[in-house]
Amino acid sequence: MTPDVRPLVAGNWKMNGTRECLTEIKAMAEGVQGALSEKVETLICPPATLIYVATALATDSPLQIGGQDCHQKASGAHTGDISAEMIADCFGTYVIVGHSERRTDHGETDHIVRDKAAAAHDAGLTAIVCIGETADQRDAYETLDVLKRQIFGSLPPGATAENTVIAYEPVWAIGTGLTPTATDIAVAHSFMRAELVEFFGDEGRRMRILYGGSVKPANAAELMAIDNVDGALIGGASLKAKDFLAIYGVYEGLTA
């Protein structure tokens, strides 16, 4: 963890979840109550169809609700898209941008991701900007080069520690059950911290860097204890309140 930085445990539900899954949101909202919630921030990003109802369920809870993507524009002829303003209008507070599945499936470039992050800021949302290398890039020893390029290409000039979170998700580890070694993660996060400080100064020193990529209750304690790992962006394990809360609960020991 980074000293004096409040960790963030965030869940990305991806294209999963209908109204019957809202019982999991309710259980999460109830489970993050208490003293630990003052030390650790929690967030769930369900499908856009559930954002409004999810925020209602979490009204009296520290649990935050966010979106999984937003368009670069505030409105317009963009059938099927959702704007950052629409997420904010549903009382969402965060939005994920630049996830590898968006970059791969929809051809999103660093430039597009930067514009989406700026749109999130304009709407008063905190942007979680995802970066990470593919298996081929890793095998070619290009990981740090990719991270540097994506950091400087995907972050808008107005990024601050308050409105921007970085999520490092090795593409080859997402949903595969594979996880980099603790040393690999420490090297990547230390490198990203140095680059953020060089570009953003003190803001970069305080900017949270999450780890994502097959985070589970079984490996969360080891991952979250690594220097410069300021929380997690969780995929499948965030669909069940029991697993999400188990990962959140790891911080009881780490912040004691």
Say what the pLDDT of residue 155 is: 98
Q: Is the pLDDT confidence value at 256 over 80?
A: no
Distances (CA, A) of 156 to 7, 120, 159: 22, 11, 6
132 lies in a domain?
yes
For 199-245, write each residue's pLDDT tens digit. Answer: 999 999 999 999 998 899 999 999 999 999 999 999 999 999 999 99
Say what the pLDDT of residue 12 is: 98
- Quote the number of domains for the chain: 1
What is the arithmetic mean of pLDDT over 81-89?
Answer: 98
Using pLDDT thresholds of 50, 70 and 90, give the confidence band for residue 2: confident
Q: Is the pLDDT confidence value at 104 over 90?
A: yes
Does residue 92 come out as left (phi exceeding 0), alpha (psi in the -120 to 50 range) or beta? beta
Which active-site residues does the annotation give? 99, 169
For 144-171, write each residue's pLDDT tens digit. Answer: 999 999 999 999 999 999 999 999 999 9
What pTM did the predictor assign?
0.97
Say what the pLDDT of residue 196 is: 97
9 lies in a domain?
no
Which residue bears the tokens 């524009």?
73
Q: At what angle do helices 182-200 and 217-224 cross, to 10 degrees?
A: 50
CB burial class (10 A; 0-12, 13-18, 19+) of residue 114?
Answer: buried
Q: Are 73 and 22 in contact (CB under 8 A)?
A: no
Domain containing 127 equals 64-230+243-254
247 lies in a domain?
yes
Q: Are 207 and 164 in contact (CB under 8 A)?
A: yes
For 46-77, write each residue's pLDDT tens digit. Answer: 999 999 999 999 999 999 999 999 999 999 99
Q: Measured between alpha carbons, how far is 174 from 37 in angstroms, rounded to an integer?
A: 27
The per-residue pLDDT of the chain, averaged, comes to 96
Say what the pLDDT of residue 177 is: 80
For 114-149, write each residue's pLDDT tens digit. Answer: 999 999 999 999 999 999 999 999 999 999 999 999
Q: Using a CB cutoff of 8 Å and minimum separation of 24, what contacts does 179-185 make? A: 179/213, 179/214, 179/219, 179/223, 180/213, 182/222, 182/223, 182/226, 185/211, 185/223, 185/226, 185/229
Q: Is the pLDDT confidence value at 1 over 90?
A: no
55 lies in a domain?
no
Say what the pLDDT of residue 172 is: 87
Which CATH number goes with the domain that contains 97? 3.20.20.70
80 lies in a domain?
yes
31 lies in a domain?
no
68 lies in a domain?
yes
| Element holding 44 (H helix, E strand) | strand 41-45
4 lies in a domain?
no
Using pLDDT thresholds of 50, 70 and 90, give the confidence band for residue 11: very high
For 181-196, write each residue's pLDDT tens digit. Answer: 999 999 999 999 999 9
